[in-house]
């Protein structure tokens, strides 16, 4: 990983989280996703990156065992566009995960359900980890494998907890634990 790739992951995640917080992201057939009152701005975390790198280097094209990444939830994707440079691959992977919301939708309450946990076709779990309100730490890795790039991101504290909301619906920054970035309408991590 290099600084420009880390920056691409972080800026893309925070740009998309900002759009969600401001209520300008499509939520499948439910119209626009509601505004988020408590969406934290993510920070890049090199420990999370190191954990993601272990998973990425396997080129396994599957989720790593949870016991190998304590404290992190994981997104992974295989990118076959090997002509993309690393920052482009970072943006492409992040945007592919994020599109799950516009393609399939969550629900109007923005609550993670058991059905979402087990769904095999209309999957939004990757989007859910990107959008989970208190996921303040992000670390990612890209490994060039044989004919594809294997991209893995680790999130903390994790998200996608059954029965909990992706975020609290309300005016942007109205429930920040600290201050608000008035440009992005994301809460600064305490």
pLDDT tens figures, 11-56: 999 999 999 999 999 999 999 999 999 999 999 999 999 999 999 9
Domains of the chain: residue spans and CATH: 3-187 (3.40.33.10)
**Secondary structure of residue 151 in the 3-state scheme:** strand
Q: Is the pLDDT of residue 89 over 80?
A: yes
Secondary structure (H, E, C), the chain: CCHHHHHHHHHHHHHHHHHHHCCCCECHHHCECCCECCCECCEECHHHHHHHHHHHCCCCCCCCCHHHCCCCEEEEEEECCCCCCHHHHHHHHHHHHHHHHHHHCCCCCCECCHHHHHCCCCCCHHHHHHHCCCCCEEEEEEEECCCCEEEEEEEECCCCCCCCECCCECCCCCCCCCCEECCCCEECCC
- pLDDT at residue 25 in the model: 97
- pLDDT at residue 53 in the model: 98
Task: Give the CB-side neighbour count of residue 76, counting CA atoms within 13 A.
Answer: 23
Span 129-180, pLDDT tens digits: 999 999 999 999 999 999 999 999 999 999 999 999 999 999 999 999 999 9
Report the alpha-carbon distance of residue 14 to residue 63 in Å, rounded: 23
Q: Is the pLDDT of residue 119 over 90?
A: no
- pLDDT at residue 136 in the model: 96
Q: Is the pLDDT of residue 190 over 90?
A: no
- pLDDT at residue 122 in the model: 83
- pLDDT at residue 171 in the model: 98
Q: Is the pLDDT of residue 121 over 90?
A: no
- pLDDT at residue 120 in the model: 83
- pLDDT at residue 151 in the model: 98
Report the alpha-carbon distance of residue 169 to residue 148 in Å, rounded: 38
Span 91-117, pLDDT tens digits: 999 999 999 999 999 999 999 999 999
Report the alpha-carbon distance of residue 97 to residue 116 in Å, rounded: 15
């Amino acid at each position: 990983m290099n600084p420009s790739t880390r920056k691409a992951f972080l800026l893309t995640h925070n740009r998309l989280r900002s759009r969600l917080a401001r209520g300008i992201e499509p939520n499948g057939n439910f119209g626009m996703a509601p505004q988020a009152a408590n969406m934290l701005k993510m920070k890049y975390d090199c420990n999370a990156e190191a954990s993601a790198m272990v998973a990425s280097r396997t080129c396994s094209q599957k989720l790593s065992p949870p016991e190998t990444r304590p404290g992190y939830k994981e997104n992974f994707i295989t990118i076959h566009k090997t002509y993309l440079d690393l920052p482009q691959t970072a943006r492409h992977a992040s945007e592919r995960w994020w599109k799950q919301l516009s393609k399939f939708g969550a629900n109007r309450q923005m609550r993670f359900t058991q059905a979402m946990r087990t769904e095999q076709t209309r999957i939004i779990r990757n989007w859910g980890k990107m959008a989970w309100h208190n996921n303040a730490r992000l670390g990612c890795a890209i490994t060039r494998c044989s004919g594809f790039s294997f991209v893995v991101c680790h999130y903390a504290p994790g998200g996608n907890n059954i029965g909990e909301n992706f975020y609290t619906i309300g005016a942007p920054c109205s429930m920040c634990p600290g201050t608000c970035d008035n440009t992005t309408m994301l809460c600064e991590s305490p």
